[in-house]
Amino acid sequence: MIEFTKGAKEFISGKGIKEIYLVLTYVKGPCSDNLCKMIPRVVVALERGQDSSMVLLEDSEVKVFADRPVADSVKRHTNVVTVSKSKFGNRLRVSGITYSY
C-alpha cells in the first residue's frame, strides 16, 4: 500500500506529476578506504530510466511504478510505503521499505 503525505500531495499536484518510479540504487558506505559494503537505498524518480522492467504498484491519480526488487519487497513484506516531500530541496523521498537484498 502506498500512502502520500500532505506535503507530497501538494508537491505532486503543483508539479502536475502523473507517475513516479521507486528505484533501487546502491550508495557508498561510510568508510574512506572503499572497502565498505554498498548500502541499498530506494529513491523516487520522476522519469522512467533505462530499465523498462517496472511493475505497477498502485494505479490511482498518481501511478506508482517500482523496479522488480522493490516491488517484490513491498509485496512480500506487505509494507505500507510512505512517499513524502523532502524537508530540504525540491524532491520526494520514500520510507517504509524493508531491505532484504
Q: Domain of 61: which CATH number?
A: 2.60.300
Predicted confidence (pLDDT) per residue in 60-81, tens digit: 889 999 888 888 888 887 768 8
Query: Helix or strand or coil: residue 12?
Result: helix
Give the contacts of 32 (CB within 8 A, at least 6 positions apart).
Answer: none
Residue from 84, 101, 80, 100 nearest 92 by CA:
84
Residue 13 lies in a domain: yes
Residue 64 lies in a domain: yes
Predicted confidence (pLDDT) per residue in 43-65, tens digit: 898 887 666 688 888 888 899 99
**Which pLDDT band, with edges at 50, 70 and 90, does 101 fall under?**
low
Residue 100 lies in a domain: no
In which domain, by residue range, is 89 found? 2-95
Residue 101 lies in a domain: no
With 0-12 / 13-18 / 19 or more C-beta atoms within 10 angstroms meaning exposed / middle / buried, residue 27 is exposed
Residue 28 lies in a domain: yes
- pTM (two decimals): 0.82
**Which pLDDT band, with edges at 50, 70 and 90, does 84 fall under?**
very high
C-alpha cell, 94: 520514500
Say how many domains are in the chain: 1
Residue 7 lies in a domain: yes
Q: Which residue type occupies 98? A: T
Predicted confidence (pLDDT) per residue in 9-18, tens digit: 999 999 899 9
Residue 23 lies in a domain: yes
